[in-house]
Amino acid sequence: MDTNPTALERAISSVGSASELARRLRVTPAAVLQWRKVPAERVLEVERISGVSRHDLRPDVFGPIPEAAE
């Protein structure tokens, strides 16, 4: 069993609960709990609220985290 939390689980944890994330997004808790991954149209808002990178939340949309400039 994989014990590493997903990016969505980290986002939920960072605000305290799925209900709190839902409240801040102005959606129902059931909607958040149904997500397997954050809908593309919600990623930037979830990133702002939770601090979890858009690149972690949806690498299929935003790609991997860019390398730090040297």
Q: What is the CATH number of the domain that holds 50?
A: 1.10.260.40
Query: Is the dihedral angle over the CA atoms 11, 15, 17, 22 positive or is it negative?
Result: negative
Query: Looking at the 3D structure of the chain, how many domains does it have?
Result: 1
- 66 lies in a domain? no
Evaluate if residue 45 carries a pLDDT over 80: yes
In a domain, 2, yes or no: no
Q: What is the pTM of this model?
A: 0.86
Residue 48: count of CB within 10 angstroms of its CB: 11
Confirm whether 63 is domain-assigned: no
Type of residue numbered 41? E
In a domain? residue 69: no
Q: What is the pLDDT of residue 66?
A: 80
65 assigned to some structural domain = no
Confidence at 68, pLDDT banded by 50, 70, 90 = low
Confirm whether 31 is domain-assigned: yes
Count Cβ atoms below 10 Å from residue 2 Cβ, excluding itself.
5
pLDDT of residue 2: 56
* Residue 38, domain extent: 7-58
Q: Cα(31)–Cα(65) distance, rounded to whole angstroms? A: 27
Report if residue 28 sits inside a domain. yes
48 in any annotated domain: yes
Cα–Cα distance, 37 to 48 (Å, whole number): 16
